[in-house]
Amino acid sequence: MTTVTVLGAGAFGTALAIALAENGPVRMWARDADQAAEMQATRHNAKRLPDAALPDAITVCGSVGDALYDGPVLLAVPMQKLRAVLTANAPDLAGRALVACCKGIELTTGLGPSSVIAEAVPTAVPALLTGPSFAADIAKGLPTALTLACGDPDAGAALQERLSTFALRLYRTEDVAGAEIGGAMKNVIAIACGAAIGAGLGESARAALMTRGYAEMQRLAEPRDAQPETLAGLSGFGDLALTCTSAQSRNYRMGLSLGQGEDFDAGQTVEGAATARAVADEAARQGLDMPITRAVVALLDGDLTVSGAIEALLARPLKDELD
């Protein structure tokens, strides 16, 4: 059995390591060497996932070189830091199967995680693991279904076999673009939904934002040649439903804070904030109508209040639902 490497010791990386330890050895890299030593000694990630114990099959390392072994590499780092991690370790990552576990669009380039991998490590086999999931559920061994997207069908099948467990079920697709867009856009819409609930606008408003947000997801997907069926699956509709309705989602909680006029913890990674700006820039370049995305950016920048954003959305001309 090959050894899986997880680069990143946040909540999600730790949860994946715990789940995959059921199948065989896992080596996990923590960026902070002191944190790595503490996790290895205490068998807990006290900072990010304190209630979950690390199985004996997990070895926590303080350097990427020590963490890399003979199996696939899961990149459980924030989207906006992915390129830096890849570039810093490109020689060691060359030729490997690299599975991005982040969701979003790179702010500086407008690229998704698989494209960033392809640029930073051209000889790697890029893949993406995405879908409706929370770290706490995965760590507890609760049933979770995810999408594994890989343009190479043989490599995708091998990854699906190695990374699936009894409770963690992976469904494979070659539509990487569709999986990327679903995972990125659901975070943007979750911020909008959180803001609506935080402002007391009600469940009907949330349902409307989710539905019209899904339409924006489809608009963004079309010029990237993504398949509509992918957006209707786990990585699109499934993740949208989970992230927009649960306070376990950091993106949703940020929206709640915006709606309630409260500050949000700046130490929390919220992928949807940068993604909203990246998507709004691309929409402007391509002439795509993305009013909810634009409203989220305006909220984040302080250019609109929640009431002002809702007023602007409600003032839009009436139109056919499928437009």
The pLDDT score that the predictor gives to residue 313 is 86
Give residues with Cβ within 8 angstroms of 317, minimum separation 6: none
Q: Strands 49-53, 44-45: parallel, antiparallel or unpaired by DSSP?
A: antiparallel
The pLDDT score that the predictor gives to residue 33 is 95
The pLDDT score that the predictor gives to residue 307 is 86
pTM: 0.96
Beta strand residue intervals within 161-211, DSSP E: 168-173
Residue 164 CB coordination number (10 Å): 18
The pLDDT score that the predictor gives to residue 2 is 93
Give exposure, 87-115, as e/b (b: 16+ Cβ within 10 Å): eebeeebeebbbbbbbbbbbbeeebbbbb
Provide the 3-class DSSP secondary structure of residue 7.
strand
The pLDDT score that the predictor gives to residue 269 is 86
The pLDDT score that the predictor gives to residue 53 is 97
Of 74, 79, 119, whose CA–CA distance to 97 is shortest? 74
Do 79 and 113 contact (CB within 8 A), yes or no?
yes
Provide the 3-class DSSP secondary structure of residue 146.
strand
What are the chain's domains?
4-174 (3.40.50.720), 185-314 (1.10.1040.10)
pLDDT by residue (tens digit) across 217-252?
A: 999 999 999 999 999 999 999 999 999 999 999 999
CA atoms within 13 A on the CB side of 118: 12
The pLDDT score that the predictor gives to residue 158 is 98
| Terminal-residue alpha carbon distance, the chain | 50
Q: What distance lies between CA 240 and its chain's CA centroid?
A: 11
Sites in the chain below the pLDDT cut of 50? none
Do 249 and 255 contact (CB within 8 A), yes or no?
no
- As a whole number of angstroms, the distance between CA 101 and CA 25 comes to 19
- As a whole number of angstroms, the distance between CA 260 and CA 251 comes to 14
The pLDDT score that the predictor gives to residue 1 is 80
The pLDDT score that the predictor gives to residue 15 is 98
Q: Name the residues annotated as catalytic.
A: 186
